Amino acid sequence: MLNPLVKISADTDAPTSKDLTYFKKFTIIVATGIKSDLLLKIDKICRSEKIKLIFGDTFGMFGYTVSDFEKHIYYEDQVQLIGKKRKHDGAEKTTVKVKGEITYPELNKVIILPNTKQSADSIKKSKRRNELFYVMLALIEFRNRHNRNPTTSTKKEDIESLEKIKSEIFSLYQVDESKSKLSKDIFDIIFGEVVPICAVLGGVIAQEVIKAVSNKEVPINNVFLFDPIMYDGKEETVGV
């Protein structure tokens, strides 16, 4: 049952038709299923109005989230022993709140794609990262080029397009494709929506939203990748 104290409304207008006033009424925005140019536009608005943003998608067995919580302050509970000497005889403990701070990069430093005007400076100094990050970028770029997600009805053509985009991204990020550890069948399992994967990513996004608005616990900084082969989550810090 939905919380009767929470007002829910549905707005069917396209986000592109909304002006600044529309976005200013939110504390946090959750975005999904949009192209990167609109995402970066929303992120720019969010930063100008101090609104937190999280973006996520699922593609078959794969999914991801990307967060921009700007300068985020959080408080984490830590258990400490009372007194100067630490003993193992059941000494009294207390819980204290420890303050922390994370500065998130804007998304145009995180989602850098081929043939865009974004600065590649952060790419040149980036460390070797989880290659699922490049799968994420390939899927975002596929949506940009084809105005849709990959579909089973055009599976062969879509995989060919994704492989081409992946090669372009590897070249942009200076990754030696011959040494890639990605499964050769990675794009075979990114079609459709798989309910358990949607549930996992939905849970992760909901968890991060609660952390962001409550300032409790350490949020993901700043990319979450769901591994479709190992069935576990990976965190990456990108663009810092």
Do residues 63 and 201 touch, judged by C-beta distance below 8 A?
A: yes
Tokens 């709140």 belong to 97
Q: Which of 130, 191, 129, 139 is nearest to 163 (CA)?
A: 139
Question: How far apart, in whole angstroms, are the C-alpha atoms of residue 54 and residue 80?
Answer: 33
Question: How far apart, in whole angstroms, are the C-alpha atoms of residue 7 and residue 206?
Answer: 17
pLDDT tens digits along 172-211: 988 999 999 999 999 999 999 999 999 999 999 999 999 9
Say what the pLDDT of residue 82 is. Answer: 76
Say what the pLDDT of residue 232 is. Answer: 96
Crossing angle for the helix pair 132-146 and 36-48, to the nearest 10 degrees: 110
Phi, psi (deg, nearest 5) at residue 81: -80, 140
Question: How far apart, in whole angstroms, are the C-alpha atoms of residue 40 and residue 153?
Answer: 30
Question: How far apart, in whole angstroms, are the C-alpha atoms of residue 109 and residue 177?
Answer: 23
**Pair of tokens at residue 214:** 């409550």
pLDDT bucket at 121, cuts 50 / 70 / 90: low
Say what the pLDDT of residue 85 is. Answer: 57
Share the mean pLDDT of the chain. Answer: 92
pLDDT bucket at 116, cuts 50 / 70 / 90: confident
Instruction: State which CATH number among 3.20.20.70, 3.40.50.720, 2.40.110.10, 3.40.50.700 fits the domain covering 21-70+105-236.
Output: 3.40.50.720
pLDDT tens digits along 200-218: 999 999 999 999 999 999 9
Q: What is the pTM of this model?
A: 0.91
Domain definitions of the chain by residue range? 21-70+105-236
Say what the pLDDT of residue 215 is. Answer: 96
pLDDT at 233 over 80: yes
Tokens 């460390």 belong to 127
pLDDT tens digits along 22-60: 999 999 999 999 999 999 999 999 999 999 999 999 999
pLDDT at 219 over 80: yes
pLDDT at 115 over 90: no
How far apart, in Å, are the Cα atoms of 75 and each of 4, 41, 90, 98?
Answer: 29, 30, 26, 5
pLDDT bucket at 159, cuts 50 / 70 / 90: very high
Lowest average pLDDT, out of 2-16, 127-141, 155-169, goes to 2-16
